[in-house]
Structure 1
């Protein structure tokens, strides 16, 4: 009998353009390939979701999903061997519905991902703490520590009851230990696909690209560079953080091209020569850096949180001043963009320097990829399951 995994995530499953939900989707896909019975309960997109048409049944079907609705109007679909139920996770009945789903499915393992509403974890623990694994992709949703958006001592205590906690970076592992008193297991997720990877980086053509342009991800630095290099083509790929004001600011610049987000990152990066990742908040792990570097595309990144870790030793980490939250408002300090301008200028103007950096980035990323094999996750589950009487 197949080992059944139920992922509970308070984020949309498909399409998944954010780092955490994309990592979950690709993990579940790869575990399904390895013979696991993989199922997901995910959030139903709300009306405020950016570009809501991509979540319509016909759009999901175009991505290869087999979609249907049950008698209660809930959306179910199967995608790449994974069964998904999309539900309103904010509904008053959400906890009761989850209880019924878990009792019906009776999974061997429950993965609870970024449960910022504190709905999933209580239900999972009530079914079986021994089978519950907390997955941490972002510190914003943690119930403790300086990066949390909302402290929740009860949810913090619930995390202590789970069988295991999985994180995606050393930065995150140290954060949980320092601020939460929690030990966690570092597992790299299979986010980047399979080799071979085309070399996309070219010193003489292509965009300088930023994915998910918004204030938190470093939009002020991006716009400053756009304005200081008027003869260079820049590209922006709006996802969850791009509101109307961001889109308007980008469209006001004649040297910025807006690109559609895509399930396959190679589609976005095929015409890119440099990626900018100037996040003004700590990242747990910046997946886009590895995505770009494995294709020979140099990345200029801010040095907050796990972004440094994601650069894999490549020394293109540049200074940023993190945003501050006061009285419920986000305040953006002025940014010293001189180092960004200087580094970008050299990459754009010195082809030999570009080629050297491109080769070093690709070498580092290819060396990192074996850590992201989903079999590491499968072996970890097998080790956890060795406890007598668990199954």
Structure 2
């Protein structure tokens, strides 16, 4: 392969651009950074549907405003380049999707195939059919895994396929332990390059700004957010709707006079520029809460729920607070009563004690800046190189 670019193909059954969800954003920024290193990066992603939140942001003209010139083929698929990455957005639910995907892989003949969010269980099969030794499963959420208590749908056949992949990459130690305990599989922990490079402007301040929550919805802890909104009626809150906020959630938020709705943005700094405190009260286990680190890098204290990898994302600083996880069975979601007293107490102190706020903000920023080197894309590139050293792979 001397003199040739390493070809990396990402397959994700999720929208590529814009990418407001944590896993989607992590994949997009990984591919962007690999492209900067000289990798030949391509993506097959899901074509946005009409049910997508705020569908206007997925229109070709909206993507063009982000620097992606979209071409639609005769089948309605979208083709575009963005930040050095070539993207095909296809209807992954179409009857012939699997066959088209396999044909695409055969044409491009990638050196590595990253399979992420394969909840229809077609991407991994297509990758394995081409070359199991070149296939890497990427785990951003346990919802889409075929095993374990956090899975939405158990799938023994997909579980067996995962055993054939060359590697499984996870984003947190919590996720690595989950995959081992419930899937009987070993995984490699790699931090994704999602945060950018220093310096980061200090955004948090004790005397103004919003108490902000990104992606307000039940799964992410909307009941706790609303309780705090109602309890601190004189405090300015902000909500940033993304994939989880449906019309009913938007209506509930708009009914609160002290809540401002903010537009989601590709650059997290835009969202956090007026944040005073960030809330991350997820009621489901997170694999890793990126927004916590994003906020802490900017000197913004974070109040986070204590489920899953969210505790890992807090990097050993305050405040990890209790939540009662939702119960899911047969597609039904049951939200249990939440003890918000610890949340109220923590928020009250940050709002009323400027000295305590500054100390908390400093500790958060210091921890996040210390963590940042682990997210350099070179770690991922070196891992691919180490895998490639196996004789006879290329």
Structure 2-normalised TM-score?
Answer: 0.99
Aligned to 1:12, the other structure's residue is in SS state coil
- 1:69 is displaced (CA, Å) by 1.9
Q: Quick one: distance in 1 between partners of 2:205 and 2:141?
A: 33
**Please, which of 177, 190, 203 is the counterpart of residue 187 of structure 1?**
190
- Structure 2 equivalent of residue 231 of structure 1: 234
The alpha carbon displacement at 1:340 in A equals 0.3
Q: CA deviation at 1:73?
A: 3.0
- Corresponding position: 1:42 with 2:50: no
Q: Which residue of 2 aligns with 1:287?
A: 290
> What is the Cα deviation at residue 325 of structure 1?
1.1
> Cα deviation per residue 1:241-289 (whole Å; 9 max; x = unaligned)?
0011100110000000000000000000000010000000000000000
Matched position secondary structure for 2:18: coil
- Quote the residue 1:376 is aligned against: 379
Range that drifts further, 318-327 or 155-164: 318-327
Shift of 1:335: 0.2
2:245 is matched with 242
1:107 and 1:376 map into 2 onto residues whose CA distance is 20
- Judge conservation of contact 2:318–2:360 (CA < 8 Å) in 1: no
Q: Where does residue 86 of structure 2 map in the other structure?
A: 83
The residue that corresponds to 1:222 in the other structure is 225
Residue 343 of structure 2 aligns with which residue? 340
Report the 3-state secondary structure (helix = DSSP H, G, I; strand = E; otherwise coil) of the residue aligned with 1:66. Answer: coil
- 1:69 aligns with one of 69, 72, 82: 72
C-alpha separation between the residues in 2 aligned to 1:179 and 1:72?
40
Structure 2 Cα separation of the partners of residues 332 and 314 of structure 1: 28
Alignment-derived partner of residue 106 in structure 1: 109
Kindly indicate whether residue 321 of structure 2 is the aligned counterpart of residue 318 of structure 1: yes
In the TM superposition, what is the alpha-carbon distance from 1:388 to its structure 2 partner? 1.1
1:366 correspondence with 2:381:
no
Partner of 2:169: 166
TM-score by length of structure 1 reads: 0.99
Give the secondary structure class of the aligned counterpart of 2:70.
Answer: strand
CA RMSD of aligned residues (A): 0.6
Specify the alignment match of 1:385 in structure 2: 388
CA distance in structure 2 between the partners assigned to 1:315 and 1:357 by the alignment:
7
Aligned equivalents of 2:331, 2:44: Cα separation in 1: 31
**Could you say which residue in structure 2 is the equivalent of 1:97?**
100
> Could you tell me how far apart the structure 1 residues matched to 2:287 and 2:235 are?
31
Paired residues in the alignment total 391
Q: 1:197 aligns with which of 181, 200, 206?
A: 200
Q: CA deviation at 1:378?
A: 0.2
Is the 8 Å Cα contact of residues 47 and 90 (structure 2) preserved in structure 1? yes
Q: Distance in 1 between matches of 2:330 and 2:115?
A: 30
Deviations 1:92-143 (A, max 9, x none): 1000000110000000000000211101001100100000000000000000
Aligned residue number for residue 8 of structure 1: 11
Q: In the aligned structure 2, how far is the partner of 1:205 from the partner of 1:216?
A: 28
* Structure 2 unaligned spans of 5+: none
1:212 aligns with 2:215: yes
Equivalent-residue separation in structure 1 for 2:308 and 2:42 (angstroms)? 31
Matches of 1:284 and 1:124, distance apart in 2: 24
How far the C-alpha of 1:50 sits from its partner, in A, is 0.3
Q: Alignment partner of 2:133: what SS?
A: helix
2:312 is aligned to: 309
Q: Does 1:153 align with 2:156?
A: yes
Aligned to 2:217, what secondary structure does the other structure show? coil
What CA deviation, in whole Å up to 9, does each residue of 1:205-233 have, x standing for no partner? 00000000000000000000000000000
Structure-1 residue corresponding to 2:119: 116
Map Cα deviations across residues 66-99 of structure 1 (whole Å, 9 max, x no partner): 2212343321000000000000001110000001
